[in-house]
Chain A
Amino acid sequence: MTDWFDANIVLIQSTFVSLLLALSIQVPLRAGVFSFAGIGSYGVGAYTAAIVTINYEWPAFAAIAAGVVIAAAIGYLLALLLSRLGGLYLGMATIAYSLIFSVFVINGGELTGGAQGLFGAISDLTTGGVIGVTVVVVVLLALSERGRIGRRIAAVREDPELAMSTGVPVLAIRQLSFVVSGALGACAGAMNTLLRSTVSPDEIGFQLVVLALTMIIVGGSRSWLGAFIGAVIFTWLPSVLEFVGDWQTVVYGVLVALAAIFVPGGLLGVLQQGYRRWRRRALPIGGTA
């Protein structure tokens, strides 16, 4: 078992990083905020961690924290700037922000390593650390999905006007979702950079947006569990598809398209429906036939 663990350590680490990335989009989505700023935050976190590790030799958690703080601050700024937008417009504005960041990074000269990116960010981050951070995050998010907090966030998503009239702090929740999204994205980016010891502009481009979206749609956008399913699938899918050979990208695209068309609630939705149907059959309600 440990042999398998060692051999696949990169994919295992990648699953947790991808989970955090997916969550950085899923959390605002839960509050009805269609923001992709988490992707830009991934880049911010990745480069910040690389820069402080290479130049100042900060320990792993300090480097990650630095990225998280900066990205969260930017998230707050975005929240203030883009508060009037909704739906796809907000999505596009935040995608634009993420992509502008990659252009800056390519033209950043010595500081960001330009087109090459940065390498040699050797740090003491362990797989255990990564899993630990992810578990803490997930627990906090899971708690926020139930009880009063969960219902309030759902209210902000479903009917903001009604929520406001019943005293739910709609604006604050929205702004908080921007900040949390920034923190999560930066955490993912910083951890990935410290594990791989490199970061380059190609890694933080548009394909990250695509990856995060597909993880959430295929996995399920209602809960952290959906993001987890999505992260597992899309981290391990390339290895599974390897036997398909040349056409694996086609299969990939087809799978994503099929999921978007036929499985709107994501796999999580399917599982939940199946579970409910099973429960209903197992426990007859009311009178017998």
Chain B
Amino acid sequence: MLATVRLVVLTALRNRLFAGLLIALIGATSLSVFIGGTALLEQAQAVVVFAAGAGRIVLVVGLVVFVAFHVQSMIETREVEGILARALARGSFVVGYWLGFALVTCAFVVGLALALWRVAPSADGILVWSFSLLLECWIVVAIAIFSGLMLERATSCVIFTLGFYALARLMGLFLGIRDFMADARDVKASDYVVDALALIMPRLDLFAQTGWLVYGQNGELLFPFVQGLVFLALVLAASIFDLSRRQF
């Protein structure tokens, strides 16, 4: 498994994922400093919020695109068959592959948190925000690996994962609409759809709130985080299940 982790980290280095994402993050942060600096008041807050929000989007999109194309390239070049031909169990491969990207994500999140540390008004908020962003990225990477192995095409994988991410980020809205409209009409079909979705989707809308960086974190986070960890394990298990029934 450690060899797979090393392979992923080396591939990320070789394919300039670190350099590419770093440049994108620096660009997003610079733009945030510029736009936040135009605020009439609370410029520091605006800069931190813009940098953190833009950093999250850059990180998620960058990781999804990289994972999707990496999985496709591994399948096309039959590299995955070469790896699985060895004594390595398929479960170890999936977990090792995810762990590699989890490490890569760690490096970026820690870097982003350190960059925000000096300017963020709330120091304790940044710890919770960083951990929450880390968990969010881990979940997104796991979904990208799952869909990449299942769909085998990078474009489909990117669309699937980003669609899933958008849905997970909007779950609070859908649940709000569902509860708000519950007594206002008789048609319940959409309610069942939303209820079913709520059972499947992680609540990413409760993760990585930039408000924590300004005012500190308050409110219940244990449940969403535990639910996120369970969902992460579920996606990895589903990836192993899908891979183990595949014939190469």
- Do A and B bind? no
Residues of A in contact with B (beta carbons under 8 Å apart): none
Residues of B in contact with A (beta carbons under 8 Å apart): none
